[in-house]
Each structure stands twice: as structure tokens, then as C-alpha cells.
Amino acid sequence: MSLIGILMAGVFHAAALFLLTSGLQLVFGVQRIVNLACGSLYALGAYVGISFTTWALAQGLPVPMFPLALLAAGLVVGLIGLPLERLISTIYKRPESFQLLLTFSLILVFQDVLRFFWGANPQQLANVAMHYGSVSLWGAQMPAYNVFVILLAIATAVGLGWFLGRTTLGKMLRATAENREASAAMGVNVRMVYLLVFTLGTTLSTVGGAMVVPTAAVSLQIGVDLVVEAFAVIVIGGLGSMKGAAAGALIVGLIRAAALVLYPEVEVLATYVIVLAVLVFKPSGLFGKAAV
Amino acid sequence: MSTEFTSVALGHTASLRDNKPGWFARRGLQAAIFLGVVALAAVPQFADAYYVSLGIPFMAYAVALLGFNLLFGYGGLLSFGHALFLALGAYASAMSARHFGLTSIEGMLLCAVGVSLLVALPIAFVASRFVGIFFGMLTLSFGMLFYSFLNKFYHLTGGDSGMNVPQPTLLGRSYAATGKMEFLTGPFYYYCLVLLALGVLVMWGIVRSPYGLHLQAARDNEVKASYLGVKTRQVRGVAFLISAVYGAVGGVILGVNTGLADPELAYWTHSGHLVFMAVLGGFQQFLGPVVGAFVFILLQDELQAVTQYWRFFLGIVLAALVIGMPGGILGTVRALWNRWRKR
């Protein structure tokens, strides 16, 4: 594969990773919660996206509209963040390790729920991904839908930046992240902020899963596998930073794309060597605040 | 990490008070260890061979968790990659059998301990700088690094089909004539029991030693502990090394039990199961992880027999424990006991 081909595959993978990790970063940035179950939410979005879109197409939805069905499915499934936030709120005052424990238990639950409804075989949204044909850039081919996903990730990044930086609600979120008590004293409803942030984070993950699913099959294992990649992204980029999520996703995405072509044995190893190097030499990550 | 770590788990006591053990901790613990060993030794005499064979993974996990809990319960460091060392133990025994023709379990154990120390040393060097979520993520990274190494370097590790662990000799005695099941439920069972008892005794010494107190002080208040001269980073690093050795010993037992060193042993969800067992039994109690391993093995076995969706129920149990009963089984028993004695 040409260099351009590797670059395009890498950027596409980065776009998927960014959609997954931006939610994780938002939740960590404001609430100091690391959600191990983010991969399971991504998988949930993907599975529901497949079922809903298949149903909608059978109901007569014109094929070119299928991304809308996926988006709707992802957005609606994201509402599962509301009950999950209430569940996790029981351990806000406990030591950090408890978050990892509780969200790990969610992974176990989600994995069997997905298996119960969709079975153990990988699922796929057949025959729509290539509907838009493919585009060719400097001699390398790429499905047009993949370009759409990349644009969606960029739009999400810009939208989040605008939301956090320019709107009143965004300022409230940042204030809560900075100092919870002071914000509460200034009249910020911290409980609502947490509920909102967690649900928004969940929605970003489920939408990511739903939007990426036309390009590849989804299996039960993906929720568990993705956690490891998502962690790589946020460690490289810096916990809680949106810029970090983007930079980390690009680095991980490009490394994986390059390794898959050049030397597949080191696909995961290469990513993790970078992760370890970052942890050793710059523990706060590229854009993070001081670690520990 | 702060003092709340302990007080949350126990409900009330401050942790350093544990080191002047009360009646329950001292006599109760001795009695529990003695009764436990006697009961486990008696199991093969009357129980069904199937349940005896469940005893071996139980003891493997119990040994591994004793070490894991030095890190988590006493050090306040939650490792999400500890399965690495179980896998390392299993692979070390498989490789020492294949490449050096080792057939004795003592050789395998020595090999596993040596390799685990070699691997744990650099990890401990890096990881001891971190606590909390970062420590968890870092150990998870190392675990997955090893997992992908096992999977991808096929010619060295057998890839996803793993490596065979041959039936070893125990104390120089060969059991080649005995059937596999008889070997496992007979001599090997008692061998593991001795290993477990030794592991418990050594760990009891470690926890009560000045070193053990330093580790707990570093957990409860890092700043204060370092003012008092505790080398927190070093103390944590040593805890990591000890827990690695315990994990590798557990891994050897697991490998001999199944006859296979499987890369799935290193997968991060396996680490999650270790954490689960520790929380289930009560990670603030010395014997908590042992109880946790015992209950987990039985619970998993029963659930698997009843439903294919056993993970779902395990997840519910874990969530309920974390939210409602963070002291685990033993922690709750102890709290009830203390309340009863105060009357």
C-alpha cells in the first residue's frame, strides 16, 4: 500500500478512536471518572445501529439516508448514560479504584446483554457502506463513507470546542472541572452538570459505534478490545484533554495503519511502546495537566 | 490515596490499628488458617472428584491473590494487569519443559519465580511512580503488551493455541503411571495445598513486618509517611515484585492443572477477574482474597452450569459488592462480629 493509503487508513481509524475517546475525556475532565465500559457503550451503539437501520431500510427508508438512521440510533442509545450516571454516582466519594471496579462490572453485564440480544456471531450492516461509492485521493482509493466519518469526527471536535469554550453551559462545565465546591457556591447545579456530562460522554461513544459500524463488522469482543486502544489514546494525549484525544487518536491511528502494512506482528506492541514512553518521560501526556 | 481508602472498606477502623491485631485478627486468623488447611486436606477423602479438581484452580488463584492483595489491599495500588504474572508462570513452566527439558515442578517454580522477577523489575521501576487510576492503566498496558507478544510471536509462544505444560514430577517422584485426574486430585492437590499454606505464612510475616507497616503507611498518607522516612516509591516497588512472584507461582499451578499455557491468561479481563475475587472476599482482610477465590470458583462453576449468561450475573454481583458491601464477605463478617462484641 502506498504512503497515502496508509495515511488515509490511519486518519480514518483515528476518527473512530476520537469519537470513542472524546466522551471518555469529557467525563474524566469534568468528573474525574474513568469509564472502563466505554468500549461496551461503543459496541452497544454499533449493534443497535445495525438493527435500527436494517429495520428502517425495510420500512422503506431510502438507502442514501442510512447515516441518519445510524445517527438517530446512536443518539437515542446514548440516553442510557442517564441511569448509568445515577449508578456511578454512588461511588463519587470513594477512592478512584472503585470506579475501575464498578465500570468493569458494567463490561461483564453489557457483554452478556449484547450476546443475549444479538448472539455470539459478528454482525454487519450489509451492502450500504459502498452506496456512496469511493473517492480517490492522489491515487489511493477510499470509500466515500469513510471520508464522511472523518468529517463527522472533525465536526464533533469543532462542535465540542465551541460548546466548551463559547457557551454558558460549557463554561459551567469547565468551572465544575476546575473547582467543584466553588462552582456549586456560585450557583452551578453540580448534580445536573454531572448528569449532563456523563450522558454526553456516553452519547459520543454510542454515536461513534453506530457511525463506524457500516465500515466493519462488530463482534462482542470489540467492547473489551477497544478499551485498550482508548486507554492508549488518552494516555498519549493526556487524561481529560480534548486536544489530547485528537492528537492521541491521530498518533495511535497512524501507527496502527502503518504497522498493519509494514509489520503486522507489532501492531499492538508499537502503540504500547509509545504509551510506555509517554508514561515514563511525560506522564501527564502531550496535552494533559500534571499526572497523579 | 488517603485514609478514606481503609475506612471505607472497614466501615470504621483506622488501618494502622490493624497491626496490633485484636482477638479476631490474631486468634481468629490462626484458627481460620488451621481449620482451613485441615478442611482442604480432608476434601479429597470424601468429596466428589469433580469438586476436588475445582480445588486446584482455587488454590492457584488463592496464592496469586495473596500477592495481589499485598499490592491492592495493603498498598492501595489497583493493578489491572496482574494476569500478566499468572500467564508468565504458566509460560515459564511450559518453556522450561520444552527448552531445558525440566520435568520437576520445583524446577518450573524456580524458573517462574526468576522470570517473573526479571519481568517485574522494570515494570515496578516505572509503575511505582504512580498511584490510583494511572497505576491501573499502566499495569493494564503492560499486561496487554505481554498479551499481544504471546499472540503475535507465534514461533516462540505458539500464538493463540498456546503451549503444552507437561505433567511434572513432584519432589523428584514421577506420576507418569497415574492417570491425569488421579494425579491432579491426589498428589498434586496436596502439593498445592502445601504451597498455599506456605504462601499464607510468608505473607502473614510480610504484612506484619516493619516493611508491611511502611507499605500501609504509604497507602494511608503518602506525604506524612515520607516525612517519617518511609521510602514510598521503593516500598511500593517491592510490593509489586512480591506480588509478581506470588502471581507466577499461581500461574504454574494453573498451567499444570490445565496442561496448557494459554495467551488468554494474560488478557486484561482475566486481571479483572482477579480484582473481582479480591473485592468479593474483602481486600482489607488478610484472608479475604483466599475466601474470594474460593467463593468465586464455586460461584462461577454453579453459574456456568445453570446459564450461559454467567458473566451477566457476575457483573451484577460485583456492582452490588462495590456499591453496597465494599468490605466484601470477610469485611462484612468482621464488622458484624465487632458490633456483636460491643454489645
| Residue B177 C-alpha, separation from nearest chain A C-alpha, in angstroms | 41
Residue whose cell numbers read 493526556:
A238
Mean pLDDT score across all residues of chain B: 85
Contact between A18 and A244 under an 8 Å Cβ cutoff? The reply is no
Residues 84-143 of chain A with CB under 8 A from chain B are: 87, 90-91, 94-102, 104-113, 115-116
The set of residues, in sequence order, having a beta carbon less than 8 Å from that of B60 and lying 6+ positions away, is: B86, B192, B250, B251, B253, B254, B257
CB contact under 8 A, B268 and A224: yes
pLDDT score of B126: 85
Tell me how close the Cα of A108 comes to any Cα of chain B, in angstroms.
5
CA distances from A259 to A269, B46, B271 (A): 9, 56, 27
Best to test chain A binding among B4, B69, B79, B133 (most A CBs inside 10 Å): B133
Host domain of residue A101: 3-220
Q: Sign (positive/negative) of CA torsion B267, B268, B270, B271?
A: positive
DSSP code for A167: S
Convert the pLDDT of each residue in A146-181 to its tens digit: 888 899 999 999 999 899 888 988 888 888 888 888
DSSP for B164-211, written as a single string: E-PPPBBTTB--TTS-HHHHIIIIIHHHHHHHHHHHHHHHHHHHHSHH
Q: Do B268 and A97 touch (CB under 8 A)?
A: no
pLDDT at B15: 46
For chain A positions 23-82, those within 8 Å of chain B (CB to CB) are 34
CA–CA distance, B139 with A279 (Å, rounded to integer):
11
- In a domain? residue A35: yes
pLDDT in tens, B12-31: 333 444 445 555 566 777 78
Residue A230, in any domain of the structure: no
- DSSP-assigned beta bridge partners for residue B164: B260
- Average pLDDT value for residue range B260-276: 88
pLDDT tens-place string over residues A248-258: 999 999 998 88
Residue A185 lies in a domain: yes
Q: What is the pLDDT of residue A291?
A: 38
Angle value at C-alpha A114, between A111 and A116, nearest 5 degrees: 105
Radius of gyration of chain A (CA): 19
Which of chain A's residues have a Cβ under 8 Å away from the Cβ of B144? 228, 268, 272
A259-288 b/e (C-beta count within 10 Å ≥ 16 → b): bbeeeeebbbbbbbebbbebbeeebbbbbb
Q: And the C-alpha cell for B331?
A: 469485611
Give the pLDDT band of residue B336 (cuts 50, 70, 90): confident
Pairing of strands A134-137, B260-261: unpaired
Answer yes or no: do B136 and A106 touch at CB < 8 A. no
Chain B, window 260-319: residues with a beta carbon less than 8 angstroms from a chain A beta carbon? 268-269, 272, 275-276, 279, 309-312, 314-316, 318-319
Whether residue A276 lies inside any domain: the answer is no
Residue type, position A174, single letter: R
Q: How many domains does chain A have?
A: 1
Distance CA A268, CA B145 (A): 7
CA distance A99 to B322: 9
Q: What does chain A come to in residues?
A: 292
Per-residue pLDDT of chain A (292 residues; tens, 9 = 90+): 678 888 888 999 999 999 989 988 888 888 888 888 888 999 999 999 999 988 988 888 888 888 888 999 999 999 999 999 999 888 888 877 788 889 989 998 998 999 999 888 888 887 777 777 778 777 777 888 888 889 999 999 999 989 988 898 888 888 888 888 888 888 888 888 899 999 999 999 999 999 988 888 888 888 888 888 888 898 888 888 888 889 999 999 999 888 888 887 777 788 888 888 887 788 777 887 643 3
DSSP for A63-120, please give it: GGGHHHHHHHHHHHHGGGHHHHHHHHGGGTTS-THHHHHHHHHHHHHHHHHHHHHH-S
Flag whether A51 is in a domain. Answer: yes
Is the Cβ pair A109, B76 closer than 8 Å? no
| pTM to 2 decimal places | 0.85
**Nearest chain B residue to A90, by CA:** B323
Q: What is the pLDDT of residues B66-80, one digit of tens each?
A: 999 999 999 989 998
Residue among A278, A168, A272, A205 at smallest CA distance from A28: A205
Beta strand A140-143 with B163-164 is unpaired
Establish if A26 belongs to a structural domain.
Answer: yes
Q: Which amino acid is at B235?
A: V
pLDDT (0 to 100) of residue B185: 80
B131 touches chain A (CB under 8 A): yes
Would you state the pLDDT for residue B27? 73
Cα distance between residue B102 and residue B82, in whole Å: 26
- Grid cell 511502611 in the structure block, residue: B214
pLDDT digits (tens, 9 = 90+) for B163-208: 888 888 888 777 777 777 878 888 889 999 999 999 999 999 999 8
Residue among B80, B130, B315 whose CB faces A109 most closely: B315
Helix, strand, coil distribution of chain A in percent, nearest 5: 75, 5, 20
What is the C-alpha separation between A116 and B222, in angstroms, rounded? Answer: 46
Per-residue pLDDT for B256 more than 80? yes
DSSP letter at B160?
A: G
Residue A149 domain flag: yes
Question: Could you report the predicted ipTM of this complex, rounded to two decimals?
Answer: 0.84
